[in-house]
Amino acid sequence: MKSQFRHVALIGKYQAQGSRSVLEDIAQFLGTQGCEVALEQDTARNTGLSQFPTLDAAGIGAQCDLALVVGGDGTMLGIGRLLAQFGVPVVGINQGRLGFITDIAFEDYQNTLEPMLRGEFEEDRRWMMKAKVMRGGDCVFTATAMNDVVVNRGATSGMVELRVEVDGRFVANQRADGLIIASPTGSTAYALSAGGPLLHPSIAGWVLVPIAPHTLSNRPIVLSDAGEIAIELVAGRDASASFDMQSLASLLHGDRIIVRRSEFQMRFLHPKGWSYFDTLRKKLHWNEGVA
């Protein structure tokens, strides 16, 4: 039985050693499954693979019914943010380190992918975040994030002071090295290392996590993702806002970072029987040393 996906886009972490041969092998495998294969344009340019048609993100959104990402979570998030508006589902083959969302092991990708291409998979939809930086009455920066929006102090400066509001209501002024607003997907990233809780992907919420707060009673808090979070820079030098650690905005005193839920969801496809808890247990090394 051949693939139910007719046109598959292949996206690779082309900086990795041996990525050209890996992508070539996967493309040939997809062809044996009856898929028409296209390479994402940066992947094709940087690997020198010229035997396949190339598409940019908009072309993938218009022409492809599946995107197959070979790399780590960063590669997955980068293309996923661009494809979410088109509703193209994404599958990840892990060639990175942790791989919370690129969950197919490269060593066994053929056995895992074959039934998925036939339609045997679990679909996992994740809301994205949209953010903007307001300066006075003007929007000076916009971005979309899947993991987190982070306000950080400068590398050589002291703490920042941030005014936090939720749905227009004042929460607190916080002095800290920074503040993280993380989605359930991002709860296993920077927010986790800063002491935040894990959020199951089915929870319609965000976690607000201070980074090294001046007052230890400033603790992480879980909020609904249906509202709006506003963070105003009150004091601090060389502060910035980052969005999935990909795009960066320099901040001035009085700037406000406004975060709301995006209208788009990222669609992840996992092997049949996939479990979020299996992923946590494996990636966070739970149960190790237990008899």
Task: List residues with catalytic annotation.
Answer: 73
3-state per-residue secondary structure call for the chain = CCCCCCEEEEEECCCCCCHHHHHHHHHHHHHHCCCEEEEEHHHHHHHCCCCCCEECHHHHHHHCCEEEEEECHHHHHHHHHHHHHHCCCEEEEECCCCCCCCCEEHHHHHHHHHHHHCCCEEEEEEEEEEEEEEECCEEEEEEEECCEEEEECCCCCCCEEEEEEECCEEEEEEEECEEEEECCCHHHCHHHHCCCCCCCCCCCEEEEEEECCCCCCCCCEEEECCCCEEEEEEECCCCEEEECCCEEEECCCCCEEEEEEEEEEEEEEEECCCCHHHHHHHHCCCCCCCC
Is there a contact between 177 and 206 (Cβ–Cβ < 8 Å)?
Answer: no
| Selection from 251, 245, 83 nearest residue 160 by Cα | 251
Which two tokens mark 289?
A: 């040393």
| Selection from 10, 12, 13, 42 nearest residue 27 by Cα | 10
